[in-house]
Amino acid sequence: MDRWTPNGSCFMEAATNQAIDSTLNVKDVLTIEGKWNLDFLKNNLPLNIVNQVVALPEPRDTDGPDVVGWRGTNTHHFTIQSAYELQRGNIPQMEGDWKMIWNWKGPHRIQTFMWDWCFKNLNNEDYGVQKEGWKTIFMVACWHMWTWHNKAIFDEDFRQPADPIQVILKMAKDIDGYEHHHFTRGRHRLETIFIRWKCPNEGWIKLNCDGAHKKSMDLAGCGGLLRDSDGRWIQGYTQKIGTCDSLHAEMWGMYAGMELARRKGITHLIVESDSKLLIDMVTGRCNLNGATPIMIRRIQELINMNWQTQFQHTWREGNRSADWLANHSLMQDSFDFITLETPPIDLQNSLFADISGVSMPRTEIGEK
């Protein structure tokens, strides 16, 4: 079931016309060519809803029957984390490595105690995150409780402090007051790697594709380009998609570029993207845990046609020409797929840097 509107409501609640045919099916709002009927959509729905609809791939008979999908993730697969986020709404997340508690291997009753302590104390105005760091408080509290417990058993003269909370908070404050870099300095080092675009081997064509999403505009688009083994421009493309997340914009960019390459009769294609998740999804290296998204299935259908394809991941620095085209697509007046026989003037410097082997620095965090 498609989530057509931001709150998941049906079209009838968002329609701009009072009278609308309630028997309409999705196929009734497609053109003869199988594209979305924009005139009908714009005449009957608000623009923000139209932008969401046109970002969905037009349905085809080959897509198979409709299936129910989970709206909490962009892959429509259920996860406990997404269910929790839907339930909690827009409450800001707390800092901290919660997986450490969740994955802690120890007695269940101690794990339950830790969760109970976190739940009761992290937002407490007196002892929670508003004052000293909760990580330090928790560590000091556990240490003191263990120490006092042992002393109560083995030391007959031991007397628990009259105000144990203040003892814990004071020690936590002393620890947090110490210069943090004395503990962390020297554990990691920054590495600078240099990324550049590489020409494909002779006889192969390289497709660089990308998607762009601008939250301020509530719009997404895609773009890409085809180049030969000498780095020469063959053809480029841009398309404003509508309203969707960045992953689906990446999917559109890859699908549109592969379809363009197929129409041009290319038989050996290297597809390069800076989305490792997308590369893993289309090549089967990512476990999708359920129904495969329509756009991924359509990309896989193109892969299975009579041609040779390879998929490569690159960093954004090596995909800057496709990134420029994807961002440029957001300026289009229409949702049409636009092909570019010659590169735009503003893109030529980036193309020259690619073909000249210019490397761009990228900083990575490494272990010493």
Spatial strand order of the sheet with 233-242 comes to 308-313, 268-273, 205-214, 219-227, 233-242, 338-340
* Mean pLDDT of the residues in the chain: 83
Give the architecture (CATH level 2) of 205-367. 2-Layer Sandwich (3.30)
Give the per-residue pLDDT at 5: 58
Give how far the C-alpha of residue 261 lies from the chain's centroid of Cα atoms, to the nearest Å.
Answer: 26
Amino acid letter, residue 21:
D
Residue range 356-366: mean pLDDT, rounded: 82
Residue type, 119: F
* Mean pLDDT on 127-143: 67
Is the pLDDT at 278 greater than 80? The verdict is yes
Of 4-18, 31-45, 69-83, give the lowest mean pLDDT range. Answer: 4-18
pLDDT of residue 365 exceeding 90, the answer is no
Instruction: Tell me the C-alpha distance between 240 and 88, whole Å.
Output: 33
Within the chain, which residue ranges are assigned CATH 3.30.420.10?
Answer: 205-367
The answer to whether residues 77 and 288 touch, using CB atoms and an 8 Å cutoff, is yes
The pLDDT assigned to 181 comes to 46
Instruction: Calculate what percentage of the chain has a pLDDT beyond 90.
Output: 42
Contact, 322 vs 312, CB < 8 A? no
- The span from the CA of 72 to the CA of 50, in Å, is 21
In this predicted structure, the answer to whether residue 125 has a pLDDT above a threshold of 60 is no
CA 185 to chain CA centroid, Å, is 31
User: β-pairing, 360-367 with 205-214?
Assistant: unpaired
Confidence class for position 69, pLDDT limits 50, 70, 90: confident
288 — pLDDT class (breaks 50, 70, 90): low
Question: For 263, phi and psi rounded to 5 degrees?
Answer: -65, -30
Beta bridge partners of 313: 273
226/172: higher pLDDT = 226
Residue given tokens 């009072």 in the structure block: 18
